[in-house]
Structure 1
Amino acid sequence: MTSPRLDSLEIFEDVVRHGGFRAAAVSRGVSSSAISQSISVLEEALGIRLLNRTTRSVAPTEAGQRLLKQLKPALHDIRTAIDDLNQLRESPSGTVRINAPGPAVDHILFPLALRFMEAYPEVSVEIISDAAIIDIVEQGFDAGVRFGKQLGQDMIAMPLGPPLRYAIVASPDYLHKNGCPALPSDLIKHNCIRRRFPGGTMATWRFAKEVEELEINPQGRLTLSSAHQELQAALAGSGIAHLFEDYVRDYVEQGKLSELLTDWKQKLPSWYLYYPNRRHTSAAMRAFLDHVRSYKWT
């Protein structure tokens, strides 16, 4: 067995993380054939197959999984050591990768990232919109965003934006045909647009007024998996939707949606940015965290 090149190991990690040669090639700015050739050279050097290839997918073999498990923290340490040299530069450089649900990306993270890149022109930001609960370290992210502070003990969390509120909305056309609910309990008589989370559970709708709190399992013919889809369905008159205020504010002001049960809004936690509780954090990530801490939320 000959010693493999470090860049071949990085390419192997990229192929697994992106799920194929083509996506890995796009991320690295090279051809798919170059990626394939690098993997072949790596497997030949190690004397063992690391990937199972089909016409539709690429997945690590048992040997590939074992190598990847030990490779990820080692590559992270190497990248961190190199990135720490940024402290000797006038300005940090590198990439910050963040995983976050769509609503947090649209209304909090995206505008924040744009201002961050203006302040740090040598830092790139990659944001992946994903509502699933993942291991951000295993998937190669520097940070993640989740609702509330329910995070692992090995994570540090900081508020990202102001507290949130849900709004109950429907189109004027839907309300004209079906009437307007006066109480949360009236929603059981309506066609509600339901949400199924990536893990398979259905979203419940929670309400609060003074000391009274209640929770409803909405019923309806349409079930979707994203806030954007729910918004479009509500605008089309398909039913009553349960969405963050930021998603619907402009449409309510324009009269395209009507907000319901406004005196039953429940104040919720903010989004939280979370990241690994490690001693070594890249210079680019440290700059991003400082930017978040100093950001003036409106």
Structure 2
Amino acid sequence: MKNNESLDDLAIFHTVVREGGFRAAARRLGLAPSKVSATVARMEEALGVPLLRRTTRSMATTEVGNALAERIGPLLAGLDAARAEAAETADQVRGRLKLNVPGAVMPDVLPPLFAVFHARHPEVEVEIVVENGIVDIVEAGCDAGIRYDDVLAQDMVSIPIGPRTQQVALAASPDYLAARGAPAAPRDLIEHQAIRYRLPGGPLLPWQLVEDGRTITVEPIPRLILGVNAIDTGLGFARAGIGIIATFRNWLEEDLANGDLVPVLPERWPARTGPRLYYPSRHAPRPLRAFIQVCQDTHEG
């Protein structure tokens, strides 16, 4: 047996495991799927053990393959970091930035930031992974994450990204309110039908309103429940008269202005802190530092 796998071969194998298949890895690496498959087969022949279990429909990592991927992952990441540090003398920022973000920041928070970022740093490849649960960004292979109101690990730092505060608003279609009546107080909501969001594998997102200077929680009838991964689809159902929706006020501006939706209990809407970018306190790669600078410049501006 000859253990003469090159770093390129190891990187290809690790990408197959990380991406979950040959075709996905080939797209990520810019290689033909046949070359990726042949590389893994060559490694398995040299090692004398299977690294992957293949069927016509799926692929799984063997115990040996999983152990190999876990061992080489940090080594490959270290090499990437070393290359990035070596290139930092160059004027042009290059490399890859991978962010793990909730769906709530996709429609309006990130697009203007990345418009500025890409104008400044056109050589940086950006990948955005949308997940709404709590995620270990280091384990997930991401440079940074964005979350609302989450308790950060001790080795994380964070900065505001997007609006410092956001107001959570209630709205419904004119047809729905004409048929059901407009609630006059928070307690009236328990008789109303609502479009609610559910966290992955968890509870429904609570509806909170301000009453007598304090924040209260109300539980309307869940006429329609959407996963938070579909958070940007809720307004379409609200326009169709399904029920009352609770969402960020800035997402409602156009619908409120043209009359497609009507505000519900606007004097009771609460405010919450905006999203934050968080990342490990250790040395940040240059593309991430460049993105942090864009976020800071946007807030200062």
C-alpha contact (below 8 Å) 2:223/2:242 kept by paired residues: no
SS of the residue corresponding to residue 98 of structure 2 reads strand
Partners of 2:158 and 2:47 in 1: how far apart? 40
Aligned with residue 251 of structure 1, among 246, 249, 255: 255
* Aligned-residue offset at 1:79: 0.4
Tell me what 1:291 maps to.
294
Tell me what 2:234 maps to.
230
Q: Percent identity?
A: 38
Q: 1:13 to 1:218 in 2, by over 3 A?
A: farther
Structure 2 unaligned spans of 5+: none
Tell me what 2:180 maps to.
178
Partners of 1:179 and 1:56 in 2: how far apart? 52
C-alpha offsets along residues 131-177 of structure 1, whole Å, 9 cap, x if unaligned? Answer: 23322222221111111242222322111122122111111111111
Letter in 1 for 2:217: E
Count of aligned positions: 297
Q: 1:217 to 1:17 in 2, by over 3 A?
A: farther
Q: 1:58 to 1:102 in 2, by over 3 A?
A: same
Partners of 2:134 and 2:53 in 1: how far apart? 26
SS of the residue corresponding to residue 235 of structure 2 reads helix
C-alpha contact (below 8 Å) 2:189/2:219 kept by paired residues: no
Tell me what 1:216 maps to.
218
C-alpha contact (below 8 Å) 1:209/1:265 kept by paired residues: no
Tell me what 1:91 maps to.
92
* Aligned-residue offset at 1:10: 1.8
Q: TM-score, normalised by structure 1?
A: 0.93
Aligned with residue 272 of structure 1, among 252, 272, 276: 276
Structure 1 unaligned spans of 5+: none
C-alpha offsets along residues 216-252 of structure 1, whole Å, 9 cap, x if unaligned? Answer: 2332221111212212211111111111122222111
SS of the residue corresponding to residue 154 of structure 2 reads coil
Letter in 2 for 1:179: G
SS of the residue corresponding to residue 12 of structure 2 reads helix
C-alpha contact (below 8 Å) 2:166/2:272 kept by paired residues: yes
Q: 1:258 to 1:219 in 2, by over 3 A?
A: same
Query: In the alignment, is residue 156 of structure 1 matched against residue 160 of structure 2?
Result: no
**In the TM superposition, what are the counterparts of 1:130-145 in structure 2 within 5 Å?**
130-145=131-146
C-alpha contact (below 8 Å) 1:146/1:272 kept by paired residues: yes
Partners of 2:277 and 2:55 in 1: how far apart? 37
Partners of 1:227 and 1:286 in 2: how far apart? 29
Q: 1:136 to 1:56 in 2, by over 3 A?
A: farther
* Aligned-residue offset at 1:70: 2.4
Partners of 1:10 and 1:232 in 2: how far apart? 44
C-alpha offsets along residues 270-298 of structure 1, whole Å, 9 cap, x if unaligned? Answer: 101111222x3211111111111111378
SS of the residue corresponding to residue 135 of structure 1 reads coil
Partners of 2:109 and 2:27 in 1: how far apart? 27
* Aligned-residue offset at 1:117: 0.7
* Aligned-residue offset at 1:14: 1.8
Q: TM-score, normalised by structure 2?
A: 0.92
Aligned-residue RMSD, C-alpha: 1.8
Partners of 2:59 and 2:111 in 1: how far apart? 31
Partners of 1:267 and 1:81 in 2: how far apart? 43
**In the TM superposition, what are the counterparts of 1:35-74 in structure 2 within 5 Å?**
35-74=36-75
Partners of 1:133 and 1:177 in 2: how far apart? 40
Tell me what 1:106 maps to.
107
Partners of 2:68 and 2:211 in 1: how far apart? 54
Aligned with residue 199 of structure 2, among 189, 193, 197: 197
Partners of 2:127 and 2:19 in 1: how far apart? 14
C-alpha contact (below 8 Å) 1:22/1:32 kept by paired residues: yes
SS of the residue corresponding to residue 147 of structure 2 reads strand
Tell me what 2:189 maps to.
187
